[in-house]
Amino acid sequence: MSATEAEAADHSYFQAIEEAFVELRGAPLLLSPADWQVARRWRQEGVPLELVRSTLGEVFARRKERGSKGKISSLRYCVPAVEAAWADLKELTAPAHRVEAPAFEVAPRLAALAAALPAGLPGRESLAARLGALAGDPQEVEEHLAAIDREMLDRAAAGLDGETRSEIESAVEKTLASLGGRLPAAELEGSRERLARQILRRRLSLPVLSLFSPEAAAS
């Protein structure tokens, strides 16, 4: 894998974690530099994205069961649970305790993603056809999905009416203002587009185009 491909794969991993965290949290949030360092360490250690996503879901579910108030505001809150789950998985798959990994079927997950595209999305049929045509190694498919996901968001943004566009811009500014004392101004400004995409995705109920997203896993 070239340096450019590796960088794209890293970004896809980080973005998928951020999207999963925001989706579970139920409100837009930018991961802090410290949170991104956590995700970078997980990537370097080889922690599977699906393990991170499932463990985040368990953390949020347990918190809801306890009736805890407020929202989790940092990925670091979930570090102990994720790293415990990773330690358990490594022990289970150690040479002396080797277990067969479940088969990973790409096609059903791609079909589920195509079905999850909302009816009013501009170019929906074309995007669905491209998803259905993907095949091969899951990592390569995931890289293609990251590119299609960006295109989907661009198409959706271009098709917004004036009122919806204003609502999203207002939500972006409100969230950035709430983070003003926590992150440097330059970093906030640089994260504006990422935050806008988060809010756009939630506003239009757009799926995360990843083999590990909830929509794909529902196949």
pLDDT digits (tens, 9 = 90+) for 127-160: 999 999 999 888 788 888 888 988 999 999 999 9
Q: What is the pLDDT of residue 97?
A: 47
Angle between helices 138-158 and 3-25 (to 10 degrees): 60
Q: What is the pLDDT of residue 126?
A: 95
If you average pLDDT over every residue of the chain, what do you get?
A: 82
| Least confident segment among 20-24, 33-37, 176-180, 199-203 | 176-180
User: Considering Cα of 139, then 16, then 46, then 51, what sign does the dihedral take?
Assistant: negative
Q: What is the pLDDT of residue 129?
A: 96
Spatial distance between the Cα atoms of 89 and 109, rounded to a whole number of angstroms = 23
| Least confident segment among 4-13, 38-47, 69-78 | 4-13
> 151 and 159 in contact (C-beta within 8 Å)?
no
Spatial distance between the Cα atoms of 2 and 15, rounded to a whole number of angstroms = 20
Q: What is the pLDDT of residue 111?
A: 94
Check whether 199 has a pLDDT greater than 90. no
Largest CA distance in the chain: 61
Enter the DSSP assignment of 94: S
* Mean pLDDT to the nearest integer, 71-92: 85
* Mean pLDDT to the nearest integer, 178-202: 74
* Mean pLDDT to the nearest integer, 58-85: 87
**Region of 102 on the Ramachandran plot (φ > 0 left; ψ -120 to 50 alpha; else beta):** beta
Q: What is the pLDDT of residue 101?
A: 44
Check whether 98 has a pLDDT greater than 70. no
Residue 188 pLDDT grade (very low, low, confident, very high; cuts 50, 70, 90) = low
pLDDT above 70 covers a percentage of the chain that reads 84
Residue 179 pLDDT grade (very low, low, confident, very high; cuts 50, 70, 90) = low
Output the CA angle 70-73-78, nearest 5 degrees.
Answer: 105
The tally of CA atoms less than 13 A away on the side-chain side of residue 218 is 11
Spatial distance between the Cα atoms of 143 and 140, rounded to a whole number of angstroms = 5
Spatial distance between the Cα atoms of 128 and 132, rounded to a whole number of angstroms = 6
Question: Among candidates 59, 82, 83, which has minimal Cα distance to 72?
Answer: 59
